[in-house]
Structure 1
């Protein structure tokens, strides 16, 4: 029986061409392919072969511009060294910054909760009505754009 250990890379995606108030319009599949293309360019066939098994874009929030990539332990280094060199995802000019590398998805989501709570606090002053604040909080704290069933109540 083969047991794989994974690493989850939490990534901040920023784009100078899209204002901070607007969503990026970025899909997980496009993000996934852009990372694999850059790994191919930097590390060749060996890098792609090492990473491909178990590699997945698990989460991508268009509003807060946060994504989570899953890679096997060991080959995750190919992923993490390739991220700073990605300048385009689809037609979008971007810069990527690795925020956190965790051993479990649960810890990555805990980190994102803290990170997004600080983002929410910084955006709070620009909103006028309680309805706008509620909508922003729902968008920022939305963890449903992932293929993992996660009970947030158990995380606290």
Structure 2
């Protein structure tokens, strides 16, 4: 039995047209397909074939604009080299910044939690009521925003 190593790539999605206080209308499936299309465009069939097995969008939070991608170790370099070239996701102008590349999901989520806590602290000063603050905290610290359907399709 062979053990496959994975890398988890934490990506920040920056959109200059949408203010920071509003969430992006971004589904993990659309994000996933945009990354695959750019890898196809830049690295061709070899790039797609090397990352296809084990490539998943694990997490996508529209409020904090953070996404987590899983790729196999080695071909993850195709993914990380393609991310800066993605300028459009669906009809939205974006810029993708790679924040962290980790070996385990646990450390990637620790990094995301620390990053989102800093985001939450900066946004709290702009909110007026405690109700708005609680809603923002629930949205920011929600780690269950994963589209399971696309992951099941890609595992099989």
TM-score scaled by structure 1? 0.92
Unaligned runs of 5+ in 2: 149-156
- 2:7 alignment partner in structure 1: 7
Listed as ranges, the matches of 1:76-91 within 5 Å are 76-91=76-91
Structure 1 vs Structure 2 CA RMSD: 1.1
Unaligned runs of 5+ in 1: 149-156
The 2-side partners of 1:128 and 1:23 are apart by: 18
- 1:36 alignment partner in structure 2: 36
What's the offset of the Cα at 1:17?
1.5
The 2-side partners of 1:118 and 1:108 are apart by: 16
- 2:49 alignment partner in structure 1: 49
Listed as ranges, the matches of 1:59-98 within 5 Å are 59-98=59-98
- Number of equivalent positions: 148
- 1:120 alignment partner in structure 2: 120
State the secondary structure of the residue aligned to 1:126. Answer: coil
The 1-side partners of 2:127 and 2:18 are apart by: 19
The 2-side partners of 1:123 and 1:147 are apart by: 26
- Cα deviation digits, residues 59-97 of structure 1 (max 9, x gap): 000000000000000000000000000001111110000
TM-score scaled by structure 2? 0.92
- 2:107 alignment partner in structure 1: 107
What's the offset of the Cα at 1:147?
6.2
